[in-house]
Structure 1
């Protein structure tokens, strides 16, 4: 299905041009130009006012709900809310009501029409408070992929407006709010996830369902008191589109309302059928809205058509409705009918008419399409041809809103329509038709093509023309990757123009055979470099693979990543296809751009059977990829135990072959935490101490990653427990650095050197103090780790804890004998370190522990000097209260007051000045 959007693009373009002209420095506008611009601005304002006036009329029947108030609260806090709900549950009414409320109470200007981010940036007025309303955000019935892309391209600018709304800074951000609404089906669409930055503003309406009291108050707005008494015990619908039911119930009788609430679809269908018999003119008007894509423009009644197709569609419906031969009279009748929309299920927006709800539109298409079958086959949009028609023989109980083709003449017209679409370059209706799932439909379609073989072959040959010799738009060239689509309806807008590849993707073997007989290029590629054979192998379409190979498809053609058909079949575990390709002499050594062969990728992720099939054909079974990874290495990296066991039976001598980073299969298995693989490799005598190029051993990397069970296994297999990396860090040191308490305990109990130092002379205890892991500090100390051992600059573990602000560790160290008066090579003390880093709590604790607060470092800096430089007001207060001397000078003869003035610490200047 195609997206139905408000047709205000011309308004947007004109307004954008107006804004551009009005801001141009080169523009020398004359009074006439100014008048035209003013007139244009007034015209836009009139359109907006028309919408707002319509909202005011509708708001008279609006009932404030709990959800409404919650949305308003969120909007005031975040300046943006994206309301998500199913069709008909009142989300549009809610955002309009809130907009009107903000206008009336807080003088916000409402911008009721926002089709794209461009509208926002053109209409924003930084001198006014504004609220922008974006209804049907990124789609009305289904997701509009183009709209998602447009919003995504400017999402950061929009977020900047939201986050800075109302701030009075140099950039002059406006006081703006955004109320968006979209359907739950749009929100759940994978395409919509591109806008994930808006997720924090989402309000799911279903989480705040209508209460019984709210339902009752809504019903009273639409149903007369007499009907209410009759229906009070009947209308207890829990449908999410309850507000829509109430709206349709207006002016209906009790029995009609009961049927409506029982089944909306059946009620609308019957109502439309009755309308056909009772008011032909009204039914004709509804049919036109349905046929013209829910977008019946008023210009049509003035004989202004967008295309010949639109003109013919209009004329055909009028003829079929027997409205008479005189065009002027017919159009006058329709215009009069449209001016009275009561009980028509149709509403007017600007210059076009549309159904009041998407579900009603769908029902109207099926009812009107069935009555005027041939006209709809000829003129309805191509996505409807693909999705909403069904031959009588293909009907199932699950078919919904389907137009049934129940005679041979209609079937021929339907196939003729497919040919017309192909002439226009549209492949969706033909090759992604929902009826292709039926063998009987495909048989009829193939028979039709054979009957018109010359014409069909000519059409298919059009698609064989290379892109450099035919005009193809950017959108046709840059279609999204169809392989990723799980919902077929997204595919309608992707103009592949590759019937053979599209039919392969759909898995229709007989259609593929038809296309090949019509001389479609079997080796043509899509924009991702994929042939039909590649797609068939990727998706496991075995029968199509056989058909393509029988017709000499080129097995060596690769996609843009250099992946061959055999490569993807091996990766996706399609053994039958792998066997078929090998039987046809596919190149088993053909690698992708990363140097991965089919065999290597099979070892990485496929089942053992695929590995065995390929290995029998591999002359170079040890082939490595660009990263130097062997089949055994990738199998170990991905935990493929049974594949590894098989590989070791034929490749045991390569058990320790490293990759380009020096990592062995055992190393990578330890790094990824594959315990069963580690045990298997060790049992096969893998080198337990083999390090990578950074001298990290398997035990080291396991300790770093936190796999305690594997650490135990490696130690039992005589791994060197104190083996260092290139910075002389041991497994114990790295475990302390990463906070792996359990592993630290295992290593300590296994007699790891507890006071060993790295290149910076840091002990494991020092590292744990720096990182703030008190449990590890305590564990090490209880096992006789020294708390006095200093690093290469003379800093003790206490220094590290003071620097990083770990008060609980500082307290523990001091309580267990750490020297608070110690100095490093620069004469720095733990107190100076704490103050320099703004750690007030630690500073106060050290002072209370008896530290000399006037003691200076090698540069004659006292704690007060350091606090003044850092702007730490609280610490200055603590020091002054403890009796710090304020007039001591550093090596540059500066007092703390001098430094406070130098570094613009006004509050500290005042403190020190008053103290002096």
Structure 2
């Protein structure tokens, strides 16, 4: 009984481990009939009918597979007794590992199917390589020399099984599964890749499977998920790409996302593949469904070598065609004649995608300094903003990329350019706490008084956004106004108190911050500190003689606010011991426990309403 309880407890506490133990026990205990029943349900597509064990009733396309799987489990399917024992095992496993749909048995749950397939795929390696779905074989089996970062659910192949694996891939190719074979992580092994290339070059059946993807073939690009050439370019295998090009695969075919083999090669930074495709007339002008060009994608992912190659190749084409066409032209750009007029010193690299982002914008956003240099040398437009009005300088400041900020400023980027919400580069640098970037912007005359949509200054942002003391000091050295208030009449000092940045509050008090100021709702810094539960800030404010009984427009004092505790979050009342200490501090400063707010509630009423019993006790002692 105790053992059964322990097993049940383990099942609920570690269900995956428990199920794996049970599945492994079929191998360990040599229960070949139950093991065979599970393997049949895994390897036979869409379920298994036990009547198929009598092969004359089995579907013709499954007879060979059933016979070989059963033989692998050391069961003679031609012997009636063994066949009957195996058939009976399906019933014994029903509702534990198997379930019945009509006459077919399948695994009871996808998770159990996955675990069992992996465990038995190690024990019956040859059987699984031959008969498991291609996706399972590709996902789980690796050559010993295949260096990947994968750790979980990987089965290393022996030398003999490597031959079986190759045979399976050849069979897949001959059956027309070219794409599945190329989407194979074992292709990093040179010898295996050489074998696949040899099959492509010399097997007429495999070559005929490539016909739908060859040039001058009818196809609907937006119905194509992928092609052999797209897969090879994605993986970065230039030798396979060359073979496919030699076999007349279309280098400009695009998938349903608008991506061509060249696009995928640029996306992955596979420079050898990019060169090969460009040398074979791959289209430089292709853009995906989001309007991203080859240059966009290379800049976004930081592939400097590809960027240089694209710029060089497109510039040569530009000169050769004598302005007859614009390069990297996206749908939705200006008419060709108008666009060409804007080309001055070489290739225009300031095209935009559907979000209004240029290649320079993306390179600045991701912090790719060397790519930014390349684009600026090609006269990329530093003022080109995205659809939200954010310039390359703004996103560089947002990421804290000081070197890029310096490059853009040297190219006369507008340091005070606002995005659509009114914020400029200095706001974003202050919010991120990038003091060196802030200093650089101020050297180029950034406006410390510029405000965003909520009329918040860079100084306010620095105080509120993370308590960036270094940034605040830089701004103070540049005459930032610490008393400037936003549209809600909240000052930087109020924001620091609200957020609980004790060191910031102390610094601002040293610069004559006003502890009595209130926002448009009559809320003082002390109210804000009490609401946030910031005990140390409350102490600092009271040391500066903050009015402990000052009420907001709702008639609530700081004590009313502190008595609420954490207020209400997600519908659940919560309580923090810190609020008890704040209430205690306020009472020691003679906070008035009899004050009523506009609804007639005293601090005691508020504490009761929010169920803060410790606070009720403190107030009761004060009242007595």
* TM category, shorter: 0.5 to 0.7
CA distance in 2, matches of 1:426, 1:741: 59
Q: Which residue of 2 aligns with 1:789?
A: 595
Q: Which residue of 1 aligns with 2:419?
A: 625
CA distance in 2, matches of 1:446, 1:807: 73
Pairing 1:507–2:446 present: no
The answer to whether residue 455 in structure 2 is matched with residue 516 in structure 1 is: no
Counterparts of 1:649-688 in structure 2 under 5 Å?
Answer: 649-652=443-446, 654-673=447-466, 674-688=468-482
Deviation at 1:510, TM superposition (A): 2.8
Shift in Å, 1:588: 1.3
Cα distance change of structure 1 residues 422 and 697 upon mapping to structure 2, 3 Å threshold:
farther
Match of 1:133 in 2: 108
When residues 418 and 526 of structure 1 are mapped into structure 2, their CA distance, relative to the original with a 3 A threshold, is farther
Secondary structure of 2:598's aligned partner: coil
Q: Does 1:584 align with 2:390?
A: no
Report 1:196-595 matches (<5 A). Answer: 289=131, 359=155, 366-370=162-166, 377-379=173-175, 382-387=179-184, 394-395=190-191, 403=192, 405=194, 409-410=198-199, 412-413=201-202, 417=206, 420-421=209-210, 423-424=212-213, 427=226, 429-433=228-232, 442=238, 444-445=239-240, 448=243, 452=246, 456=248, 459-461=250-252, 463=253, 477=256, 498-552=260-314, 553-554=327-328, 555-595=349-389
Give the Cα separation in 2 of the matches to 1:609 and 1:807. Answer: 56
1:777 counterpart = 2:583: yes
**Correspondence 1:720 to 2:514:** yes
CA shift in 2, pair 1:369/1:800, >3 Å: closer
- The yes-or-no answer on 1:69 pairing with 2:8 is yes
Q: How does 1:688-837 map to 2 (within 5 A)?
A: 688-771=482-565, 773-817=579-623
Contact conserved, 2:460 with 2:492, CA < 8 A, in 1? Answer: yes
1:331-382 per-residue CA deviation (whole Å, 9 max, x = no partner) reads: xxxxxxxxxxxxxxxxxxxxxxxxxx98499988732254688656544653
Which 4+ runs in 1 deviate beyond 6 A? 64-67, 81-89, 91-94, 108-111, 290-295, 360-365
Question: Structure 1: 5+ residue runs without aligned partners?
Answer: 1-63, 76-80, 124-130, 141-180, 185-240, 249-267, 273-284, 296-356, 396-402, 465-475, 479-495, 819-916
- Any conservation in 1 of the 2:415–2:424 contact (CA below 8 Å)? no
Query: What is residue 301 of structure 1 aligned with on the other side?
Result: none
* Cα displacement string for residues 373-431 of structure 1 (whole angstroms, at most 9, x for unaligned residues): 86565446533334266598x35xxxxxxx46469854724899589447346756444
Structure 1 residue matching 2:250: 3-state secondary structure: helix
State the Cα distance separating 1:817 from its structure 2 match. Answer: 2.1
When residues 663 and 569 of structure 1 are mapped into structure 2, their CA distance, relative to the original with a 3 A threshold, is same
Counterpart-to-counterpart distance in 2, 1:571 and 1:134: 44
Partner residue in 1 for 2:58 = none
**TM-score normalised to structure 2 length:** 0.67
Q: Secondary structure at the match of 1:383?
A: helix
1:36 corresponds in structure 2 to none
Q: Give the conservation status (yes or no) of the 8 Å contact 2:393–2:405.
A: yes
Residue of structure 1 in register with 2:65 after alignment: none
Written as runs of structure 1 = structure 2, the 5 A alignment for 1:109-128 is 112=98
**3-state secondary structure, aligned to 1:551:** helix
d(CA) in 2 for partners of 1:449, 1:497: 18
Deviation of 1:595 (Å): 0.8
CA distance in 1, matches of 2:599, 2:135: 78
SS of 1:699's equivalent in the other structure is helix
Question: SS of the counterpart of 2:108?
Answer: strand
Report how far residue 703 of structure 1 moved. 1.0
Q: Separation in 2 of the partners of 1:782 and 1:593? A: 55
Q: Distance in 1 between matches of 2:551 and 2:169?
A: 86
Please list the CA deviations of residues 747-775 of structure 1 after superposition, one character each: whole Å capped at 9, or x if unmatched. 10122122211112222122212337221
- Counterpart CA distance in 1 for 2:7 and 2:453 is 60
The range that moved more, 807-816 or 669-678, is 807-816
Asked if structure 2 preserves the Cα contact closer than 8 Å seen for 1:85 and 1:183, the reply is no
- The SS at the match of 2:445 is helix
CA distance in 2, matches of 1:418, 1:572: 42
Please report how far the alpha carbon of residue 517 of structure 1 lies from its aligned counterpart in structure 2 after TM superposition: 3.5
Q: Is the 8 A contact 1:382 1:421 kept in 2?
A: no
Give 1:615 deviation, angstroms. 1.2
Contact kept in structure 2, 1:370 and 1:404, CA below 8 Å: no
Contact 1:605–1:638, Cα closer than 8 Å, also in 2:
yes
CA distance in 2 between partners of 1:434 and 1:86 (Å): 39
**Matched positions, count:** 491
Asked whether the 8 Å contact 1:83–1:182 carries over to 2, the reply is no
What is the match of residue 80 of structure 2? none
- 8 Å CA contact retained: 1:702, 1:711: yes
| Structure 2 CA distance for aligned equivalents of residues 750 and 286 of structure 1 | 77
Output the aligned Cα RMSD.
Answer: 4.4
TM-score by length of 1: 0.47
Unaligned runs of 5+ residues in structure 2 are 29-33, 39-89, 138-152, 214-223, 315-326, 329-348, 566-574
Instruction: Give deviations 1:217-242, integer Å, cap 9, x for gaps.
Output: xxxxxxxxxxxxxxxxxxxxxxxx6x
Structure-2 separation of matches of 1:784 and 1:640: 42
> What residue is the counterpart of 1:42 in the other structure?
none
SS at match of 1:786: coil
Answer whether contact 1:666 1:698 (CA < 8 A) is retained: yes
Output the CA distance in 1 between the equivalents of 2:20 and 2:300: 36
